[in-house]
Amino acid sequence: MSEDRLAQARAWMRQDPDHETRDELASLITRSAAGDEHAAAELDDRFGSRLAFGTAGLRGELGAGSNRMNRVLVAQAAAGFASYLREKSSGGRPAVVIGYDGRRNSRVFATDSAEVFAGAGLRAILLPRLLPTPVLAFAVRHLGADAGVMVTASHNPPNDNGYKVYLGGADEGSQIVSPADAEIAAHIQRIADAGDVSALPRSSDYETVGEDVVEAYITATAAVAPAPGAASGLRWVYTAMHGVGWETLSRILRSAGYPQPSVVDEQLRPDATFRTVAFPNPEEPGAMDLAFARARRAKADFILANDPDADRLAVAIPDGTADGGWRRLTGNEVGLLLGARAARAAEGTPGASLACSLVSSPGLAAVAAHHGLDFHETLTGFKWISRAPGIVFGFEEALGYLVNPGTIRDKDGISAAVAVLGLAADARERGLTLADLLAELGDTYGHFASGQVSVRVEDLSVIANVMLSLRSLPPTQFGGHAIAATEDLLAAAAGQPSGDVLRYRLTDGSRVIVRPSGTEPKLKVYLDAKGESAESAKSLIAELEAGVRALLEERS
């Protein structure tokens, strides 16, 4: 272990206000200085780089060091963001709203941020308690703030946390995009280079906003789909996935007139250990098993599940088998249901548009065309989707939906839940189910199917090597289906979405897209097909998935 690395670690430890991470770092320093190679490697990992501030803000594992989420890094981020906001301010006192969820250290990081913002001369406004991310995104616009910060790692593993940043004003409460991300990162780096964060001015002169902001969110969200008469007969199950969604959603249900669901008690309240799931993400295998079991006991019609910060929504329905099985709808299926709902309401509105990320179902374009609406395809992430001109609805296949852009410019799993309840109640009035609504989609707009291959890695270089291999030795087919055209979005034309994405268009009209995940150590492959029937489209997806898995095994 070099003396420079040890000196770097000691300097970090001296400025760290958290006794847990100080003790953790002291142990690593002592063991490393004594020749412990494992401790030395750990220090190199923690200080060899810095947790990057990008368009998703900060997100990473909790722990001491510049490459971890901790109180030192958060103080640097808050001070840097404050500097950026003062630089961009046209006068006056910039206002920042801060929210936090139920993860480890979320409240501590939020309070640290409020104190640093107030110490820097900003108007710092802390939400009253742990709340869903959509409430923070709503509050930025509702309070007319210049910016917002949400302390959350969404559906990441239990030992992660994050720092999501929003901008008000002309950005209308959307997440940051380039070049703001790089400009904020530069301000943060200057704070880090200046040295000890304990020298940063802090103040307890920050505001804690009242419940009126939460009440305003509840009122606005209940208005997304007030319950029709048939809603009283709905039988459904809800899980909060150990997160913060239930308290807010239950109040909205009462306001909108929907019946309370049967709940998964084990997952209903915030639990930073996420003790019943391997990953607190409804997309992960096994995460919804308790909800499936509860639904079988309750003889429910459907299941709604939020992720831990409630900005995503999963929907599950009976699979129609004799053993009473359940299946989670894909994000694309839910997105098309909600997209068709929005398109019917917006038909005839000049300039109204639907939007989705480039890896989401092309079926949304068919929905928009059928109803005479504009359509926009964006890069992945609601920071882009929310900025689509004239947007009345937007979604991405990773269970994210924007159903009320007039009040919130981010994905919102709670307002999406209310919209799905509205669809289910309307269907019930016609003697139909959510499964019947999916069949109607195919009959009206065409039979689209989608799939995904997701490869989690320990070493991020594996992903980079696979992407390099695909560019150096381009494939000619997937599962026997020939490739007609390949698009490398690293070299996209001006005005088109650009990024580390490879898009393959097949001769049969199918589509395969490959990209690294922006928030997790995963390589993701997205499959889309259209068939003469739902069965033929699904069969084509199965063939493509087998071909993709074989190719990735060969290239990894």
**How far is 48 from 27, CA to CA, in rounded Å?**
18
Residue 508 one-letter amino acid? D
Strands 313-318 and 326-328, by their bridges, are antiparallel
The active-site residue, picked from 113, 154, 262, 361, is 154
Residue type, 263: V
The rounded radius of gyration (Å) of the Cα atoms in the chain is: 24
Grouping H, G, I as helix, E, B as strand and the rest as coil, residue 166 is strand
Strand order in the sheet with 511-516: 447-456, 522-531, 511-516, 502-506, 481-488, 477-478
Q: What's the CA gap between 447 and 543, in Å, rounded?
A: 17
Place of tokens 């989670």: 328
Q: How far is CA 405 from CA 177, 398, 401, 517, in A?
A: 18, 19, 10, 25
Q: 463-472 long-range contacts, Cβ below 8 Å, gap at least 24? A: 463/516, 463/521, 463/522, 463/523, 464/516, 465/555, 465/556, 466/523, 466/552, 466/555, 466/556, 467/500, 467/502, 467/514, 467/516, 467/523, 469/555, 470/502, 470/514, 470/555, 471/502
Q: Are 93 and 205 in contact (CB under 8 A)?
A: no
Backbone angles phi, psi at 344, to 5 degrees: -60, -40
Structure tokens at 163: 């720092």
What does the DSSP assignment read for 395-409?
EETTTEEE--TTT-S
Is 154 catalytic? The answer is yes
Residue numbers annotated as active site: 154
